[in-house]
Amino acid sequence: MSIFSSRRSHRDPALAARFPGLRGLEIAAAAAALFLVFAACFPTLLAPFDPLAINPADAFQAPSAAHWFGTDESGRDIYSRVVHGARPSLLIGAAATAIGLGLALLLGTAAGLGGRWLDFGIGRILEVLFALPGLLLALVFIAIAGPGITTSVVAVGLSTAPGYARIIRGQIAQVRSSPMVEAAVVLGRSPARVLGRHILPNALAPVFVLGTLGLGQAVVWASSLSFLGLGAPPPAAEWGAMLAAGRTYLGTAWWMTLFPGLAIVLAAACSTVLGRALQRRAVSR
């Protein structure tokens, strides 16, 4: 949420000029994001080993030339597992973000266009969802629906929806009362045309930005659920599940915890930097 409320300052060109290093940061984030997406699409091109092949003789090897990130309790290569983990981890995050944004679009558009009572009703629904912030809503949902990958994806999507919905509603309300829409109405355009040609395209512009900004948070939350034993089950090469396995051996095999976590941090940081870059461009346009 905080990243969204800081939006106003991006309209200030002087402020952007104050951060000359920002450009370099954005290029680095774009490169890292490309790398992660490449790893998710073609893991076998980057990973030298099978992520699931068990080799007990090689268990608990520290990072070396043969195993860059070391090996885990069954002798599996951590580097290969981190690379192969990109696909499930990013897919889970993307699916959760899509669910959250989809739900938010439905609620936000209905609230922004549907008149006072609908706006009031949806506002109350959002208030209820906001009252169980972050993982709490996800956990309550899992308590009802039971653990597993699918429920954890829906749970994370559900927890992100109210924040998106509030922003989309605000955007629609703003466009709706703009002179442009007023002019279209005065010119006698049909409501459907005003909605389809003027309100929706303008109001939905931030959705792409929100998705990019929110993807990192969704990856973090989904991996948190896996870490807590409520998402992807342990043998899977998913970053959160790898960290859950590493927790037992924290004292002896630090590499089992360090590297999958770094991958999550990288994904989340890329999503923030790229999201903010898109946001600045969308606003200045």
Partner 1 sequence: MADQLKPVRWVLAKVLGAAFVLWAVATLIFFGIRMIPGDPAEAILGGPGSQASPEALEQVRRDYGLDQPLLAQYAAQLGRLIRGDLGDSYSLRMPVADLIANQLPGTLLLSALSLLVAWLLALGLAGWSTLNGRAAGVVASGLEIAAAAVPHFWLASVLILLFSNSLGWLPPVNTGSADGLILPVVTLALPLAGFLGQVMRESMLAAMSSPFALSARARGEGESGVLFRHALRHAALPGIALSGWAFGNLLSGAVVVESIFARPGLGRTLLNAVTLRDIPLVTGVALVSALAYVLVMAASDVAERAADPRLRTA
Q: How far is the CB of 75 from partner 1 (least distance, A)?
A: 22
In the numeric block, which tokens belong to residue 40?
């998710």
Distance of alpha carbon 85 from alpha carbon 107, whole angstroms: 33
Which residue in this structure is represented by tokens 């990973």?
Answer: 47
Q: How far is the CB of 198 from partner 1 (least distance, A)?
A: 30
- Whether the Cβ atoms of residue 54 and residue 237 lie closer than 8 Å to each other: no
The CA distances from residue 66 to 10, 42, 49, 51, 142, in Å, are: 46, 21, 10, 15, 40
Cβ proximity to partner 1, 206 vs 261, nearer residue: 261
Residue type, 125: I
Q: How far is the CB of 213 from partner 1 (least distance, A)?
A: 11
Cβ proximity to partner 1, 90 vs 268, nearer residue: 268
Q: How far is the CB of 228 from partner 1 (least distance, A)?
A: 6
Which residue in this structure is represented by tokens 């994370």?
Answer: 156
Q: How far is the CB of 183 from partner 1 (least distance, A)?
A: 30
Instruction: Give the binding site for partner 1 (CB under 8 A).
Output: 1-3, 5-6, 9, 12, 14-15, 18-22, 25, 124, 127-128, 130-136, 139-140, 142-147, 216, 220, 223-224, 227-230, 240, 243, 246-247, 250-251, 254, 257-258, 261, 264-265, 268-269, 272-273
- Whether the Cβ atoms of residue 180 and residue 198 lie closer than 8 Å to each other: yes
In the numeric block, which tokens belong to residue 58?
């090689």
Q: How far is the CB of 12 from partner 1 (least distance, A)?
A: 7
Q: How far is the CB of 80 from partner 1 (least distance, A)?
A: 20
User: Long-range contact list for 259-266, CB < 8 A, 24+ apart?
Assistant: 259/69, 259/70, 259/78, 259/79, 259/82, 260/78, 260/81, 260/82, 260/85, 263/36, 263/82, 263/85, 263/86, 263/89, 263/239, 264/89, 264/219, 264/220, 264/223, 264/239, 264/240, 266/32, 266/36
